[in-house]
């Protein structure tokens, strides 16, 4: 492969100059180091890398935007065991322009995105000025969305849409009752609230932070409350209060949501912001026909992934996407965002401008 890029000293402009794949560009690279006490420590740093250091792939993409997902923050700080090999560029999603491709499905100039598939987990990811990926992972930017829109959605929006898609396919309808969204001020949560509202659902947004009540109301929540204000009981099955739920939190809360879900409702399990544990019994499943739906963005089959992205440009598109984009940061400032996200100091979505 022959490429030609060079970064200036401030990494603000990458421009083509020579046919040299050793020329460097900026990336957020994650390492595993052995410390003095012989513990393995995961660290990230912003540094220069060259294309020949990246994992193999058919398509070289000039990354315009990436985003910061919870998983990116866990991966880069080592607070979660996300990476399967080291070193690796972080970033589980990207949108950009094809620079070159050895696969005939893509040509230079195509606007594309990649999310999941192992990007930023087993393969060099999107928090970099360039990426090189297998052509099978690449999706053309859908009609109705810009590259920046795609990364405002990012894996968070894709996953929220995947959850809703699975619920709809499994018979969810507004007449079953309101849908609870937990971790509502976060990326997945805020996008789920806005998408569900646009699809005609009554939405109860559950947030631990009262300062985002107005934000969530503006996104379409008919009620915004704390977990305590939901009025959940400790019983394994109790009064049906909700048509279903999208849960980002896990644990006792997820179990209680199941216990209060209406006949044949759906609860989608997306996240573990509190814990990976799940307390439940079989009663909601065998006495009410409630379904607990798994939602895994990383390994979502490509045909379904393409369908979800197409619909994100159409009927799943959140009407208030620009409100949910709370900040655009340059790649060099991404470290601060990781810490703030894990410390529950951010809301909505943060997009990373990689150029």
Ligand X SMILES: NC(=O)c1ccc[n+]([C@@H]2O[C@H](COP(=O)([O-])OP(=O)(O)OC[C@H]3O[C@@H](n4cnc5c(N)ncnc54)[C@H](OP(=O)(O)O)[C@@H]3O)[C@@H](O)[C@H]2O)c1
Cis-peptide, bond into residue 332, ω within 30° of zero: no
By CB under 6 A, tell whether 271 contacts ligand X.
yes
CB of 116 to ligand X, least distance (A): 7
Kindly indicate which of the ranges 142-150, 164-172, 234-242, 291-299 contains the residues binding ligand X, using the contact rule CB under 6 A.
291-299
Which residues, in sequence order, are bridge partners of residue 131?
61
Nearest distance in Å: CB 58, ligand X:
25
C-alpha separations of 186 from 10, 48, 219, 353 in Å = 32, 31, 12, 20
Q: What is the 3-state secondary structure (H, E, C) of 202-255?
A: CEEEECCCHHHHHHHHHCCCCEEECCHHHCCCCCCCCCCCEEEEEECCCHHHHH
Write the binding mask 204 to 243 for ligand X: x where contact by CB under 6 A, - elsewhere: ---xxx----------------------------------
- Say if CB 242 and CB 261 are below 8 A apart: yes
Taking CB under 6 A as the rule, which mask of x and - marks residues 139-168 in contact with ligand X? ----------------xx--x---------
Q: Which is nearer to ligand X, 14 or 351 (CB)?
A: 351
249 binds ligand X (CB under 6 A): yes
Best CA proximity match to 186, nearest among 230, 138, 154, 223:
154
Residues 165-194, interacting with ligand X (CB under 6 A): 183-189
Q: Which of positions 330-349 make contact with ligand X (CB under 6 A)?
A: 341, 344
Residue 65 burial (10 A CB sphere; 0-12, 13-18, 19+): buried
Closest separation in Å from C-beta 186 to ligand X: 2
Q: Which is nearer to ligand X, 91 or 186 (CB)?
A: 186
Q: Report the alpha-carbon distance of residue 278 to residue 43 in Å, rounded.
A: 30
Binding piece for ligand X, criterion CB under 6 A, among 53-61, 104-112, 133-141, 267-275: 267-275
Find the part of the chain contacting ligand X (CB under 6 A) among 25-33, 55-63, 120-128, 203-211.
203-211
Asked if 70 is part of the footprint of ligand X (rule: CB under 6 A), the reply reads yes
Report the C-alpha gap between 11 and 33 in whole angstroms: 26
Taking the least distance from each CB to ligand X, the nearer of 62 and 71 is 71
Reported as type and span, the H/E element at residue 114 is strand 111-115
Is residue 95 a contact residue for ligand X (CB under 6 A)? no
In the complex with ligand X, the residue whose CB is nearer, 133 or 191, is 191
- Alpha carbons 316 and 224: distance in angstroms, whole number: 22
**Integer Cα distance of 299 and 116 in angstroms:** 7
Closest separation in Å from C-beta 81 to ligand X: 13
Would you tell me which residues interact with ligand X (CB under 6 A)?
A: 69-71, 155-156, 159, 183-189, 207-209, 248-249, 270-274, 295-298, 341, 344
């Amino acid at each position: 492969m022959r490429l030609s890029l060079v970064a200036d000293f401030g990494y603000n402009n990458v421009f083509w100059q020579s046919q040299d794949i050793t020329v460097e560009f900026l990336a957020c690279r994650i390492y595993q180091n052995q410390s003095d006490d012989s513990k393995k420590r995961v660290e990230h740093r912003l540094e220069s890398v060259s294309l020949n250091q990246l994992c193999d792939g058919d398509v070289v993409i000039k990354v315009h935007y990436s985003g910061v997902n919870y998983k990116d923050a866990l991966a880069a700080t080592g607070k979660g065991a996300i990476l399967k090999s080291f070193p690796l560029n972080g970033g589980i999603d990207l949108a950009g322009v094809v620079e070159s491709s050895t696969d005939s499905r893509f040509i230079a100039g195509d606007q594309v995105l990649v999310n999941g598939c192992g990007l930023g987990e087993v393969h060099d990811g999107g928090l970099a000025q360039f990426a090189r990926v297998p052509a099978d992972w690449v999706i053309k930017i859908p009609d109705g969305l810009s590259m920046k829109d795609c990364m405002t959605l990012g894996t968070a929006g894709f996953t929220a849409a995947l959850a809703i898609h699975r619920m709809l396919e499994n018979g969810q309808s507004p007449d079953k009752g309101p849908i609870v969204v937990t971790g509502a001020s976060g990326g997945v949560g805020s996008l789920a609230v806005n998408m569900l509202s646009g699809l005609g659902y009554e939405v109860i947004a559950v947030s631990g932070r009262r300062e985002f009540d107005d934000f969530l109301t503006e996104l379409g929540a008919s009620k915004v409350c704390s977990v305590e204000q939901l009025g959940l009981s400790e019983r394994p099955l109790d009064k049906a209060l909700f048509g279903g739920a999208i849960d980002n939190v896990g644990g006792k809360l997820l179990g209680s949501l199941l216990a209060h879900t209406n006949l044949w409702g759906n609860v989608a399990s997306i996240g573990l912001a509190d814990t990976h544990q799940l307390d439940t019994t079989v009663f909601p499943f065998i006495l009410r026909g409630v379904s607990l739906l798994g939602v895994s963005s990383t390994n979502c089959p490509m045909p379904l992934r393409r369908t979800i992205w197409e619909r994100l440009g159409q009927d799943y598109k959140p009407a208030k996407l620009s409100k949910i984009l709370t900040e655009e940061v340059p790649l060099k400032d991404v470290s601060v965002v990781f810490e703030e996200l894990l410390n529950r100091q951010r809301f909505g979505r943060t997009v990373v401008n990689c150029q």
